[in-house]
A and B are shown apart, each in its own frame.
Chain A
């Protein structure tokens, strides 16, 4: 590194002090700190700053040290249990705990001091000084002790191992060259922070401002952010409102009547099975309006040629689609024999009893639109759909498909630029008269629906549909939709 390219302006006083104080030999930070009368931590920081500039080298040496534990201290002061086991005259000492007695006896036997004969302890020999205690003392004083003993003392929990890092600093050739050029800044007052008192006292007039390193890593702002899913919902709401659609809202918890029966789903339909729909234990049942039910029953029995059971629709469910809201709305538009027209939309959570994985969710959003208008035609349906997707910049095509409650039905495909192919996007159609007549009292009603997550995955380039709901705050803040 060339000297000219080094940014010396941003050096702190401490950095300068360290650099100018260094001698040619490596020296450990602790002794430099003593020498300069500065804190060790501050010098370590400075050493790393200087190292980044290539002015010094740092050598870290980890050193293992042993510290005496509480147990060890007790043994140092009072003697090990095996020492305290027997008093000088060989009679048992009563002040030992049961545990100490056990350990003491064990070690005394091991050391060959005592032996058990006929159920009594017999003393064989007793050393004046206990070697183990001497060595523990040596460790306390910082002297070296043989490995075997250290192992034993560790095992007996008299000592613990700690590692301490020692930092050695050595000035580099570049450092030697550079040091003189910062000498003049040594001990000169430099301002780190411009404070209130500096400003009001006028002291700033005589101060030099330390220059910053302007290329430091920038810290992220802790800003507010919208969740991409909610923001996407807001955008789609705007499209609907701009097309004259009124928003429908309603409960996620509803009866099977509105979720299935009102939509012409036969009572033995697989979609109603436990492995597809969440049924509720609490509340278990909901009532439904008798007059609507009467019409639903009549039309279902005629079309499906079975006996409609009035109990099944009372089951409480988590709605499996937002079409429940369309059903409620269509009923509310029916005033006696008049059927009020209207355009409505809903975006809401729906629930399916599915295992969650990278492309399936047990709860997801559905987008739903209806146009209830006696003069509506299939061409109006295609027109509304074209406008709806054009406003979102999505290129689509229509193809025939089958949906149980629309006829004719349309499947909408989206052109995928990246994959260069058509991808299923949404389902649409004209509600069957068996659906719209019992609810709205008239025909036709145009309807379409789609999941929100699939186009969202495309917009955000997601491989896993669960990512938005993991609520990683960085992801939320960085995902723009």
Chain B
């Protein structure tokens, strides 16, 4: 989305007549573009990324004029330029097209909107100039034919400079070079758009001073380079049609491709068919061909009925970047029809609603915990290594490659550190505190689970209290207790290493009855952990994995 400001006087030139500002704003909104500001001087709208053609004032005015039925969709003509563009193999941005716009009247307002559209397209659709870059030149200052080359080094006077610079100097010292030089990381080959005399532009960095636009410029030469042929052609079409709407004559520059094939820079005249039956089926309405044609015209398409009675042949305007499928016409028909005119209805599809087996068990446990007097918490699933360290938990975790802050560097492996932190945050609120959380955790392999964790902090918090909670929950949760001294020796030492946060001899383990695996623990928190979390009273806790009963899962698998 790009926020674009249009001068009302300027946009009205392309709408076709003077219209009240509110009417323009309403039309923008009906086309799906929220309006931030609208008065007799200026209209500011958020143009969505599918309608890059409305980034220009000409394109936006055209769309509004058509929607308000002030103007009709038009055809665009192309004439042929004398210029030929010789394209060589250019590694970093292989694609280029060019065209000339003749008899342009450059005034301040036009230059402002031209540069604004250029910048907004660079930012969004152009992926910050990496995918698309647009260069605009005074065509009358160009000498001989055009060339697109890959060079190691070359010197020229860049725009707004008075001395010649080589590539290294531009990338190191010129502000635009510094801003975009990352695009050339890992290569020493640079693209150059040139004429017989030298460099016209170094895309996507900077143009040459030699062909800069002045108050006297009448004819414009556009070069559009990039990494996607499809994208640069759309952008070329957008500028060519916008300037044609201003009365310019557009001259197509022929490309001589590296494989010696010839191709035109601008290719208009795309046609697609739309089945009216398909459109009506998707929308759930019954449009007649004439109605459909009328609605299509309001969104910028010329269309004719083909020999098949329910099929329309649609002229796709050269500037539309977003037409990939028949559904794209269908949406435009719906927009022109008006969303408020559709009669909502409920799908006639009978289904059984149901909660997931996980949600069912989560819900049961939550109800039980609240009945036992616990307050439910909900904390971040993202945490950091320091929290686990403080809780004496040492486990492999899901680790974030590009953390924004040191607070969120991993997915939590346990809920216990979150609850210890919540106890700290609430330590002035009287004792005892009883809290619990049913929340998500992940193991080091990236598998995600739901855990129940609860904590009691109080002067008299001890093992017996948490044992009571385990006793009450275990029947619902399908888990049972395992006494650490009953574990085999080898297993025991390994297990004990994982329970340093508990006082030895004052905790038990919890196993999942589905697979007899240890899935949790309950006991008194080690004073070292309390000290680390700045807690001053005893804390007892319990945490285990909450899983639905195996038999239920098996039944579900069968049903699938």
Contact = CB atoms under 8 A, between A and B. Distances in A.
A24 B158 CA distance: 99
B359 A383 contact: no
B373 A223 contact: yes
A377 B283 contact: yes
Contacts of B348: 375
Contacts of B448: 251-253
A404 B125 CA distance: 13
Interface in B432-452: 432-435, 438, 440, 442, 444-448
B346 A247 contact: no
Nearest to B382: A363
Contacts of A378: 282-284, 334, 342
Taking each of A220, A281, A341, which has the highest tally of chain B beta carbons within 10 Å of its own beta carbon?
Answer: A281
A63 B434 CA distance: 43
Taking each of B131, B374, B380, B560, which has the highest tally of chain A beta carbons within 10 Å of its own beta carbon?
Answer: B380
B425 interface: yes
Interface in A376-415: 376-380, 382-387, 397-402, 404, 407-411
A226 B370 contact: yes
Contact of A229 (B334, B378, B404): B378
Interface string B392-424: 000011111111110010010000000000100
Contact of B398 (A283, A342, A399, A469): A283
Given A280-B446, A407-B328, A444-B282, A224 B374 contact: yes
A260 interface: no
Contacts of B342: 378-379, 382
Interface residues of A, number: 95
A305 B229 contact: yes
Contacts of A385: 344
Interface in B442-478: 442, 444-448
Interface in B20-38: 29-32
B369 interface: yes
A460 to B, nearest CB: 13
A286 interface: yes
Nearest to A362: B408
Interface in A246-276: 246-249, 251-253, 268, 270, 274-275
Interface string B343-374: 11111111111111011000100100111111
Given A241-B354, A476-B375, A384 B398 contact: no
A230 B355 CA distance: 15
Interface in B151-190: none
Contact of B377 (A275, A407, A476): A476
A371 interface: yes
Nearest to A347: B359
Contacts of B39: none
Interface of chain A, helix or strand or loop or mixed? mixed
Given A251-B448, A355-B404, A476-B377, A243 B353 contact: yes
Nearest to A349: B381
Interface stretch (A64-72, A203-211, A428-436): A428-436
Given A244-B353, A303-B324, A401-B48, A351 B382 contact: yes
A440 to B, nearest CB: 14
B430 interface: yes
Contacts of B376: 224-227, 230, 476
A178 interface: no
Contacts of A270: 124, 127
Given A241-B353, A305-B229, A316-B446, A407 B399 contact: no
Contacts of B378: 227, 229-230, 468-469, 471
B111 interface: no
Contact of A402 (B29, B48, B398, B401): B48
Given A222-B430, A280-B400, A378-B334, A430 B282 contact: yes
B32 A411 contact: yes
Contact of B349 (A234, A341, A382, A399): A341
Interface in B320-348: 324-325, 327-328, 330-331, 334-335, 339-340, 342-348
Contacts of A356: 405
A471 B371 CA distance: 19
Contacts, number: 259
Contacts of B403: 278
Nearest to B353: A241
A351 B281 CA distance: 37
B435 A473 contact: yes
B181 to A, nearest CB: 18
A244 B347 CA distance: 11
A399 B425 contact: no
A35 to B, nearest CB: 37
A411 B356 CA distance: 28
A306 interface: yes
A280 B228 CA distance: 29
Contact of A400 (B32, B371, B396, B432): B32
A36 interface: no
Contacts of A434: 324-325
A371 B347 contact: yes
Nearest to B448: A251
B87 to A, nearest CB: 18
Contacts of A409: 32, 331
Contacts of A237: 355, 359
A237 B366 CA distance: 15
Contacts of B284: 377-380
A325 to B, nearest CB: 10
A205 B80 CA distance: 118
A246 B127 contact: no
A113 interface: no
A375 B377 CA distance: 43
A332 interface: yes
Contacts of A306: 228
A227 to B, nearest CB: 4
B560 A279 contact: no
Contacts of A408: 282-283, 327, 330-331, 334-335
Nearest to B404: A353
B230 interface: yes
Nearest to A378: B283
A229 B127 CA distance: 37
A226 B30 CA distance: 42
B459 to A, nearest CB: 14
Nearest to A219: B430
Interface string B224-247: 000011100000000000000000
A404 B327 CA distance: 13
Nearest to B131: A268
B429 A407 contact: no
B306 interface: no
Contacts of A91: none
A201 interface: no
Contact of A407 (B127, B327, B372): B327
A244 B350 CA distance: 7
A227 B374 CA distance: 11
Contacts of A446: 347
Nearest 8 Cβ contacts at the A-B interface: A377-B284, A400-B32, A402-B48, A379-B284, A241-B353, A224-B370, A408-B331, A383-B344
Interface of B: 29-32, 48-51, 124, 127, 131, 228-230, 281-285, 324-325, 327-328, 330-331, 334-335, 339-340, 342-356, 358-359, 363, 366, 369-382, 396-405, 408, 411, 422, 425-426, 429-430, 432-435, 438, 440, 442, 444-448, 560
Given A222-B432, A247-B356, A349-B381, 11 more contacts: A224-B376, A248-B356, A251-B446, A252-B411, A274-B402, A283-B398, A373-B349, A384-B347, A402-B50, A407-B330, A407-B331
26 contacts: A225-B370, A225-B375, A227-B378, A230-B378, A252-B448, A278-B400, A279-B401, A280-B400, A282-B446, A283-B446, A304-B230, A341-B349, A355-B404, A362-B408, A363-B382, A387-B346, A398-B340, A399-B339, A400-B331, A400-B335, A401-B48, A402-B48, A407-B330, A468-B378, A470-B425, A472-B425
